[in-house]
Structure 1
Amino acid sequence: MSTRAQSLDPVVRDRLVCPQDLGELIDAGDELYNPRLRVAYAIDELGIPNMLIDDARTVSDDEHRAFTSGAGE
């Protein structure tokens, strides 16, 4: 079973960046993750990413390690 991040349309996914620093986001299950700022943006059950800065979730150190392991960091 694929995650919500994996289910995003590839054309849309290629254009999504963090609204705070305009950098690349990592697929993190049902979220898109910015490892530089350690914030995650939820993807709803319809597959629509919530890219609002005020709705971003702060990620713990343990989650950061899990999200970035194998991602070159």
Structure 2
Amino acid sequence: MHADDPLLQILACPIDKGPLTLLEEGALYNPRLRRRYPIVDGIPQLLPTSGEPVPQEEPAVADE
């Protein structure tokens, strides 16, 4: 998945239904909830249970 992928325009967080940001390490990130969702073999894992919290001290840098 790339930053200009049109799929990113329709993907949403499974918890708050807000937009997600593509991270450099190949994950989707919700900055409002500070949760990261993995992308496995090109498929976003967007189940509420597949997200992992991002610690406050760990910076989440978006791929722009």
Shorter-chain-normalised TM-score: which range? 0.7 to 0.9
Match of 2:34? 38
Rg (Cα) greater in structure: 1
Q: Of 6, 10, 18, which residue of structure 2 is paired with 1:11? A: 6
Whichever structure has more strand as a proportion of its residues is 2
| Count of equivalent residues | 62
Check the 8 A contact 1:35/1:68 in 2, yes or no. Answer: no
Structure 2, unpaired ranges of 5+? none
RMSD: 2.3
Structure 1, unpaired ranges of 5+? none
Instruction: Give every structure 1 segment of 4 or more consecutive aligned residues whose post-TM-superposition deviation is greater than 4 Å.
Output: none
TM-score under structure 1 length normalisation: 0.70
Whichever structure has more helix as a proportion of its residues is 1
User: How high is the sequence identity, in percent, across the aligned residues?
Assistant: 35
Deviations 1:9-66 (A, max 9, x none): 822221101111111111112110001111110001x200000101111101132xx2
